[in-house]
């Protein structure tokens, strides 16, 4: 594998987190996820972290400006210099454009966007099973389907964005974790 600055894209339940962990282990890079970044900013007590905490305490969505700033801060850390696997960020085209600007300014553009393609019914089944196994009572079929609608409206357009940038590889996300991992690794070669 030659790519070391990677974005994993896909619907909720497509396997981004699972594949990100495998890639990070194989590449020796860092896993950068939106949730982790926001929690770390709050824990660090940074100015941005204080803004994030206030927004989260109100139960509101964190704005693009805040998410982009948290990502910028995280990606500027020394451990990200040797590479990273992004998972859950960017989620919208404006976030992707901001990420592109941040990385281009640092002369470290994304090298590959791997889109994990999984049929919606498979995603729903996976997430319902995970909800049952982990006791997530708020992950009902209705909420999962709503998350899928949001994904199609806001995040799915990133496929076209990264295709236009010439770095998109679409990978079948159905199958064993190992089979998907092999396809992902092939897409990064």
Domain boundaries, the chain: 5-188
Q: Which residues of the chain have pLDDT under 50?
A: none
Look at residue 55 in the predicted model and tell me its pLDDT.
Answer: 76
Q: Can you give the pTM of this predicted structure?
A: 0.88
Look at residue 37 in the predicted model and tell me its pLDDT.
Answer: 79
Q: 23 CB contacts (<8 Å, ≥6 apart)? A: 6, 8, 29, 31, 85, 184, 185, 188
Q: 43 CB contacts (<8 Å, ≥6 apart)? A: 49
Catalytic residue among 129, 130, 149, 152: 130
Q: Has 5 been annotated as catalytic?
A: no
Q: Has 149 been annotated as catalytic?
A: no
Catalytic residue among 4, 26, 39, 147: 147
Look at residue 1 in the predicted model and tell me its pLDDT.
Answer: 57
- Quick count: other Cβ atoms within 10 Å of Cβ 142? 8
Q: Has 91 been annotated as catalytic?
A: yes
Look at residue 34 in the predicted model and tell me its pLDDT.
Answer: 82
Phi-psi region of 86 (alpha: psi -120 to 50; beta: other; left: phi over 0): beta
Look at residue 15 in the predicted model and tell me its pLDDT.
Answer: 94
Catalytic residue among 16, 22, 72, 74: 16
Q: Has 126 been annotated as catalytic?
A: no
Look at residue 61 in the predicted model and tell me its pLDDT.
Answer: 67
Look at residue 40 in the predicted model and tell me its pLDDT.
Answer: 82
Largest Cα–Cα distance of the chain, in whole Å? Answer: 44
Q: Which of 65, 54, 120, 58 is nearest to 92 (CA)?
A: 65
Catalytic residue among 91, 145, 156, 163: 91
Domain 5-188 in CATH 3.40.50.300: yes
Whether 85 and 27 have beta carbons less than 8 Å apart is answered as yes
Over the chain, what is the mean pLDDT? 91
d(CA 136, CA 157): 29
105-118 pLDDT, tens digit each: 999 999 999 999 99
Phi-psi region of 49 (alpha: psi -120 to 50; beta: other; left: phi over 0): alpha
Look at residue 120 in the predicted model and tell me its pLDDT.
Answer: 94
Look at residue 146 in the predicted model and tell me its pLDDT.
Answer: 87
Q: Has 145 been annotated as catalytic?
A: no
* CA–centroid distance for 53 within its chain: 21
């Amino acid at each position: 594998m030659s790519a070391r600055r990677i974005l994993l894209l896909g619907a909720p339940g497509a396997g981004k987190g699972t594949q990100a962990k495998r890639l990070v282990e194989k590449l020796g890079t860092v896993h950068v996820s939106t949730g982790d970044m926001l929690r770390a900013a709050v824990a660090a007590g940074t100015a941005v972290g204080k803004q994030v905490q206030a927004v989260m305490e109100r139960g509101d969505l964190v704005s693009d400006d805040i998410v982009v700033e948290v990502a910028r801060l995280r990606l500027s850390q020394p451990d990200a210099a040797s590479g990273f696997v992004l998972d859950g960020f960017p989620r919208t085209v404006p976030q992707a454009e901001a990420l592109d600007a941040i990385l281009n300014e640092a002369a470290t553009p994304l090298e590959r966007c791997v889109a994990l393609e999984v049929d919606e019914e498979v995603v729903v089944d996976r997430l319902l099973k995970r909800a049952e196994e982990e006791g997530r009572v708020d992950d009902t079929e209705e909420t999962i389907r709503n998350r899928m609608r949001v994904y199609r409206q806001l995040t799915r357009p990133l496929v076209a964005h990264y295709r236009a940038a010439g770095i998109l590889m679409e990978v079948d996300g159905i199958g064993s974790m190992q089979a998907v991992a092999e396809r992902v690794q092939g897409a990064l070669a």
